[in-house]
Structure 1
Amino acid sequence: MAKTDHRPASLPTVQAGGGFGAASSGQGKVPPPAGAARMQSWFIDPGTGIRQRMPHPVPVNDDNEPTGHVRHLCPKKINANGGGTTACDTAAWLLPGETAPFCPKHGEKLQPPAERGQSAIVAKAAVERYGASLWPWTLPAAGGVADVALSLADTGVSTLAAAPVLAAGAFFVTKRTLTRRAVKRGRIEKGQRSGRRVWEIRRKAVDAAQYGAEAGLWATAFAATDAMALPGLLVWAAAMARWAIGCKRWWDAAEARRLRGVPAPVAVAQPEVEVAAAPDPVQLRAESTWATIIGCNGGPLAGTKLADFRRLPNCPIRASERTVLPNWTATVVAANPGTINMREQRPLLLGRIAAAYGCTYADVSFTADESDLGVAYLRVQPDNLLAEVKMWQGAGASDWKKGVSRIGRHDDGADIRYTWWTSTGAAHDLISGCTGSGKSELVAQLLLTSLHSDGLVLDWVGDPQGGQSYGLLKDAVDWFARDKTEITLMLLAALKEMLRRNDELAKNNIKTWRPTKDMPLLAITLDEVQSYIDDPVILDLVEKLVGQGRKCGIKMRLITQVPAAYNLGGSTYIKEQLKAGQTLIFRAMTDIAGRSAVEGDCPIDPVQLPARWGKHTCNAGETTAGLMFVQGLNARDVYGRSDYTGDDMAVWLADPTPGVFGPEAQLESGVLWGDRRERVKRLLAAGRADEDLLPGGKAVELIQAAAVAAATGTVVRLSQPAPEMPGTSRDVVLQAAQAAAGSDGVVTKKAIEQATKDMPDGTRNGALTDLVAAGKLRRIRNGVYEVPGGGRQEAPTASGAESAV
């Protein structure tokens, strides 16, 4: 049975006569293949610098040098006009490793040129390079062949006539040839008998006649002697000497033509010789991958190329026990300067680069040049140096004269700088990240740092989880609040201290606060803030402190998993004030968390960060805890990793020097600060109250309902919320929302604020939160609500909706 080969269908881009981006039969201009700048019929030889012409267009780069593409042809032979066969004109230029397509006319797979033997390659290269120098060798070869032929033929014909015959023949052939060539080029006219150029042709013809006559004389001598006898050998030796002397001028001219255009050799120092060595295979792979996947048409950064490539050091940890891949960096530039904004939002860029080079998302760094947005800097580090765990450097990692601490390092080795205060006051913090990303370890490092601040930083911490993540630190800080009520008291004491400091600075005509031991930086850390900031009182206190505390040295540090406004009490004001300081972003689990954490034009996506290090790093498979991104103060568009304080923090608590809450501050705070430690003891002894588990004491109602159901055998059902007393803030906000809502029941927060101008922002925000929880309002998106049952018939204005969004 005959076997049928099923060939795949040809690609839609195949065209006869030179498809796949390269023309082989001159059928118009064809776009170059991927990885080439253009197609042209000549190129510059990289080895000699000589321009070489080709019988068909070839792909070249921007320097007119040939690329690594190989021309594939259809092996099918077709009938040619006039008889015989010729090759099919379908061709394609492909990079090594690319799959060859099939000819659309014959279905044959395109084939690369046949491999030739080493001897044929050497011979062809020798002819191309030294062809002009080989022509004089035809004279002795022809003389030898003629002598042998005459000897074998034994015709008896005298060779005395060889000299005049060759002289006359050389004269007329040379004159005729040079005359026709000069007429064709327009140098002389047909039939011209005088002139400098005519005399030049005659002179060359006379020279040729002399050469012919001499060649005839030597031929006569060859014929008259026996090459195997002594006289014949002497004749041949004399002839070869004369031939070598006469051909020297030819060889000199041929060598000058061969070296024409080649720069003269220049003596260079040894380092320059090393640079001119063979190309780096890592660089070739990096540049070709970028050209064919990233910077090509349709790529994530089309129209760009790599420049200034250089290797980066590898991680030395266990280098002999694992496969070490090279790290490298390069500059990304536009092929046409000024056509690309490197800072433009490209959310998939880092992932595409990581996939192209076979590494993880955290191994790629892409940052735009702040002084030239048409240039960016790329680092690809499959052997990521951040995988090595670096221990915290202790008290020596801070410069308290400038209010700056080192908390880790970026992927290029530069320090991650954390700012405690600036020239205008305290610097707030917003720290976000999912569980296990390392944010609690960073906060522990910051608390340990402030405990060694030489009295310039005082720490208050609020954590509804009781300080489980902080260990010994909860007893080392000045105030640790472990529940919602104690956090409220702590914030109230901070508000009173803020007002006292305002009066103290104003009384002494001090415009700008500076940290001192009498008035240290008060750093308030609120962990898991989303679980209690919806309380109207806490929300109002936080808004006042983030807005006004900075000027008098009160620093707010809020920690949450999702840094969206709805996790900050629905207050965009709090988020704006915090992001004006510094934002420390760890790995996120959801797109909402990632988008809420970073700015829109930032190339970083926290969701894409891996939870484990890649297989080629020194800690393959280990957690990436501590991997983070910094925005705001000291911001960079690259990742870094915080240092690790270790499992035993007791070694850092041997000799702390934290700030002190002064006598005037204690007097102002009164029982709030003075009884804080006794309240903690009483709270621990009493245990947690059921009233604090759910808002409005709902947990107590459910427990009581469960007890009744257990006694009576009935079913537990949620009780209806108690009716509110008329005239409360929620009634006022609800009435304002109903009055301002359109026919579709939609109302903006701005419209509600305009209708309740006299109400404090914290009270209004708390009322909105309670109304949403009670189902009397529904939040469509941030700043836009829906009133169940509709509202008035007028629709909200477009400007109001846009400003609210």
Structure 2
Amino acid sequence: MATTTHRPAPLPNSDARARHTQPNIDGHTRKPAPTPVPVGAAKMQNWYIDPTDDRRKRMPYDVPVDGDNQRTAHLRYQCPRMRNVNGGGKERCGEFEWLLPGDPAVHCRAHGEQLVPPKQPNRLGAVLRETRRMYGDTAKTLALPAAAFTTEALAGLADVAPAELGIAALPAAGLTYYMTKRTLTRRAVARNRIERGQRTGRRVVHIKRRATRAALAAGEGGLWAAALAATDINTWAGRIIAAAAIIRWAVGVKPWWDRCEQRRMFADLPQVDTTAVVETAPPVEAPDPVRTRAVTTWAMLIGCQGGPLAGTELVDYEQLPACEVGASIRTRLPNWKAKVVAKVDGSINMREQRPNLLGRIAAAYKCTYADVSFSADPSDLSTGWLRVQPDNPLAETKLWPGTVANDWKNGRSRIGRYDDGEDIWYQWWTKTGAAHDLISGCTGSGKSELVAQLLLASLHSNGLVLDWVGDPQGGQSYGSLKKSVDWFARDKSEITLMLLAALKEMYRRNDVLSANDIKTWRPTKSMPLLVITLDEVQSFIDDPTILEMVEKLVGMGRKCGIKMRLITQIPAAYNLGGSTYIKEQLKAGQTIIFRAMTDVAGRSAVDGDCPIDPTELPDVWGKHTCAAGETTAGLMYMQGINGRDVYGRADYTGDDMSVWLVDADGQSTLTPGVFGREAQQESGPLWGDRKQRAELLLAAGRSDADLLSGGKAIELLEAAAVTQATPAHLRAPQQPAPPMTGSGRVSREVVFDAAVQAANEAGQVTKDELIAQLARMGEQMKDSTRDKALTDLMADRRLRRIKNGFYEVPGKGSPSLFDQASGAAQ
């Protein structure tokens, strides 16, 4: 017989989105389908991070979470109807939906009931449960004093003698031991920690220890109660006993409280999915002791309050390779680098002036000043970079690689390396013209070695660089290079002529470039870069003529390819002729600073916001480097073009520089620039007769007048004569001077004759006029011979010095006086 199946009428929201549980018409449920992700959530999972306390919590079912694994505002709306289940009994209907508080109501399709949100938990109950969880273990210790006071009160009411109460404490302790041991053993067996009847083992010993502690507590509590019962709290004896008992109780429960506090601290931390950590996290490595020392030392000594860089910390620690030189025969300390950041982002400018910063860092990490490098990030001044290298790679001396170090296409040469291995680039010219140099440093710091390297580089420039060098020390530091450069001036007079020739060449180039409408000079073989190197410039730049020419060359020479390179030990204005203009023009190019000996030299060399102090550089390398105890010559700091706030070291050209000048067959390898025909015509005898003048000067020797400025050496030589230095009353009777013969007498008479002819009507003559008169007379005389003749004439009273370089001829035009002076001389 056919049967009719009655299907329920469509209920409200029957066409809504699919439910999580689909009931059949007979009340049975199908297998739950995967929970779909509700609108507004990122995914469904059975755990989430509570945003109130950042703790990880698990749920018995999947809940909607956002991208940060935090619960969304969705609530689990469920059907309130109870339904029958197979085998008897009832359960709540499994129809539910995740909805936001503002979503429209949804009805159960099986019962037609509206889905309701979960009941709000009892806030008071939740607070009590949380309080018990957090402080329940701590409160357990209050049971002992509470039991003692309660026992004492009950004994007083029951009129129990204190002695009986004390005796009762012994069986109470035994009973406590038995009950505690039994309870803990049962619990351990139920948790499968020990087997039933087990008598040995670590866990059994632990149970016995806990039972013993409980028995002792019960015995002490009984004795406490007996002592309280035997005394009156209103008397001093009762107060002392009560206070002693409270102190004993507090001392005993202190370890318990500490453990409870530790458990609360760990309970407050965010919970971690340990399963996921085990599956995805790499194995935990032991902490790096070098990193730990670096970070903690910085925090305690540098970044702490009152430290040289307070409010900072180290991040991004990274170990650097050690120096391989002598690795098998010495102990190598680790090198490392790290990033320095402010704890409050953007609160510190890392390039502010901190003159003692590097020294404090070096002291904190027990290394030398040269082993520490600190610089601000050029793109973010709120961060800095720190390198600490006790095994300093700069201690390894590296030889100059030769012509491969030159990059003439970009007008630069590699002259060394920084402590991080990057190249130090020296700029010959830029897009706007020549780049001037100011090189400073104390004796033995490596200035001359660097200049020798630069001269070798320019001598192999393929005709693009031409060198003129002025050195009042005769070029002793440059060896054979002084013969290879185009012009070498060994004294002030020749340096003056060299600068004058450079000045004439500058104006000639200006005219040529202007006539051809060339705005920017570029080096060519016909117009190479002219580099004028002035060593020990402080010894001759005080001459007004030289000072004027240097000022013009540093100011206007750049645009036409004339480069000035001034070298001095102290780059202060008073060592540059008192001209701040010269110093400013030179620092606009590049400044190379070696070790300084005084604060004046250091402050004059570096900029105000520079973290480098050249006076702090050590003379020798530290004991942990590959060159312990050896000189640090070549250690330098560069500012300006290609400059950085860290130290570097120049390469070494070697003791014998001739290997760079000739090849294996003895043929010259030099390709310097050439002083062109037009330049030679403009210069005339200044450049054309330079070599002949050098030969004559070398043969004639140095003039006494050039030993000290202003001819002071001649005055001292005059004062050194016995007749001048001895007091008048002690002088012996003056004897007639022995007759002079030979060239000495001739020179004296020639000089005196020239002085008489050149003197004006007042009988006065300058030294320059005297020299000009000697030239007109056709007399070629060495400077030393002429100066000796002047000294003798003044000793004989035939000439009298009015002031430096200014003489008077007594009785000019009086033959009798002349004859008398000549007779006295004979």
TM-score when normalising by structure 2:
0.56
The corresponding residue for 2:593 is 585
Counterpart mapping for 1:38-117 below 5 A: none
The corresponding residue for 2:718 is 704
The corresponding residue for 1:273 is 282
SS in structure 2 at match of 1:407: strand
Which residue, 362, 366, 389 being the options, matches 2:397? 389
Residues 55 and 268 of structure 2 are in contact (CA less than 8 Å); yes or no, is this contact kept in structure 1? Answer: no
The corresponding residue for 1:675 is 689
| CA offsets 1:149-179 (integer angstroms, 9 cap, x no match) | xxxxxxxxxxxxxxxxxxxxxxxxxxxxxxx
The corresponding residue for 1:219 is none
The corresponding residue for 1:181 is none
Q: 1:273 is aligned with what amino acid?
A: P
SS in structure 2 at match of 1:319: coil
1:689 aligns with 2:703: yes
The corresponding residue for 1:313 is 321
Q: CA deviation at 1:697?
A: 1.6
Q: CA 1:146 to 1:552, structure 2 compared with 1: closer, same or farther past 3 Å?
A: closer
SS in structure 1 at match of 2:721: helix
Counterpart mapping for 1:20-419 below 5 A: 135-137=187-189, 261-266=271-276, 273=282, 276-419=284-427
The corresponding residue for 1:200 is none
| CA offsets 1:94-128 (integer angstroms, 9 cap, x no match) | xxxxxxxxxxxxxxxxxxxxxxxxxxxxxxxxxxx
Output the CA distance in 1 between the equivalents of 2:542 and 2:647: 32
Output the CA distance in 1 between the equivalents of 2:444 and 2:564: 23
SS in structure 2 at match of 1:469: helix
The corresponding residue for 1:759 is none
Q: CA 1:278 to 1:479, structure 2 compared with 1: closer, same or farther past 3 Å?
A: same
SS in structure 2 at match of 1:665: helix
| CA offsets 1:608-652 (integer angstroms, 9 cap, x no match) | 000000000000000000000000000100000000000000000
1:661 aligns with 2:675: yes
The corresponding residue for 1:166 is none
- Aligned pair count reads 485
Q: CA deviation at 1:711?
A: 8.6
Output the CA distance in 2 between the equivalents of 1:712 and 1:435: 39
| CA offsets 1:452-501 (integer angstroms, 9 cap, x no match) | 00000000000000001000011000000000000000000000000000
Output the CA distance in 1 between the equivalents of 2:286 and 2:193: 41
Q: CA deviation at 1:693?
A: 1.5
Q: CA deviation at 1:261?
A: 2.2
Q: CA deviation at 1:316?
A: 0.3
Q: CA deviation at 1:707?
A: 2.0
| CA offsets 1:176-226 (integer angstroms, 9 cap, x no match) | xxxxxxxxxxxxxxxxxxxxxxxxxxxxxxxxxxxxxxxxxxxxxxxxxxx
Q: CA 1:710 to 1:286, structure 2 compared with 1: closer, same or farther past 3 Å?
A: same
SS in structure 2 at match of 1:544: helix
TM-score when normalising by structure 1:
0.57
Residues 445 and 632 of structure 2 are in contact (CA less than 8 Å); yes or no, is this contact kept in structure 1? Answer: yes
Q: CA deviation at 1:137?
A: 2.4
Unaligned runs of 5+ in 2: 1-52, 57-144, 150-182, 200-266, 663-668, 732-803, 805-826
| CA offsets 1:35-71 (integer angstroms, 9 cap, x no match) | xxxxxxx9999xxxxxxxxxxxxxxxxxxxxxxxxxx
Q: CA 1:132 to 1:576, structure 2 compared with 1: closer, same or farther past 3 Å?
A: farther
Output the CA distance in 2 between the equivalents of 1:133 and 1:482: 104
Q: CA deviation at 1:280?
A: 1.0
Output the CA distance in 2 between the equivalents of 1:375 and 1:596: 27
The corresponding residue for 1:790 is none
1:421 aligns with 2:429: yes
- Larger Cα-atom Rg: 2
Q: CA deviation at 1:263?
A: 2.0
Q: CA 1:143 to 1:670, structure 2 compared with 1: closer, same or farther past 3 Å?
A: closer
Q: CA 1:297 to 1:625, structure 2 compared with 1: closer, same or farther past 3 Å?
A: same
Output the CA distance in 1 between the equivalents of 2:148 and 2:443: 79
Q: CA deviation at 1:265?
A: 3.8
Output the CA distance in 2 between the equivalents of 1:551 and 1:477: 23
The corresponding residue for 2:466 is 458
Q: CA deviation at 1:508?
A: 0.6
SS in structure 2 at match of 1:341: coil
The corresponding residue for 1:798 is none
| CA offsets 1:673-692 (integer angstroms, 9 cap, x no match) | 00001001000111000111
Runs ≥4 in structure 1, deviation > 4 angstroms? 42-45, 131-134, 138-147, 257-260, 266-270, 710-716
Q: 2:705 is aligned with what amino acid?
A: E
Output the CA distance in 1 between the equivalents of 2:301 and 2:499: 54
Q: CA 1:359 to 1:504, structure 2 compared with 1: closer, same or farther past 3 Å?
A: same
Q: CA deviation at 1:133?
A: 13
Counterpart mapping for 1:699-778 below 5 A: 699-709=713-723
Residues 436 and 590 of structure 2 are in contact (CA less than 8 Å); yes or no, is this contact kept in structure 1? Answer: yes
Q: CA 1:671 to 1:136, structure 2 compared with 1: closer, same or farther past 3 Å?
A: same
Identity %: 70
Q: 1:705 is aligned with what amino acid?
A: A
Output the CA distance in 1 between the equivalents of 2:537 and 2:269: 78
1:432 aligns with 2:457: no
The corresponding residue for 1:652 is 660
Output the CA distance in 2 between the equivalents of 1:303 and 1:568: 42
Residues 189 and 195 of structure 2 are in contact (CA less than 8 Å); yes or no, is this contact kept in structure 1? Answer: no
Q: CA 1:261 to 1:529, structure 2 compared with 1: closer, same or farther past 3 Å?
A: same
Output the CA distance in 2 between the equivalents of 1:528 and 1:495: 20
Q: CA 1:400 to 1:146, structure 2 compared with 1: closer, same or farther past 3 Å?
A: closer
The corresponding residue for 1:573 is 581
Q: CA deviation at 1:144?
A: 6.5
| CA offsets 1:499-554 (integer angstroms, 9 cap, x no match) | 00000001111000000000000000000000010100000000000000000000
The corresponding residue for 2:605 is 597
Q: 1:283 is aligned with what amino acid?
A: R
1:514 aligns with 2:528: no
SS in structure 1 at match of 2:655: coil
The corresponding residue for 2:235 is none
SS in structure 1 at match of 2:720: helix
Q: CA deviation at 1:708?
A: 4.8
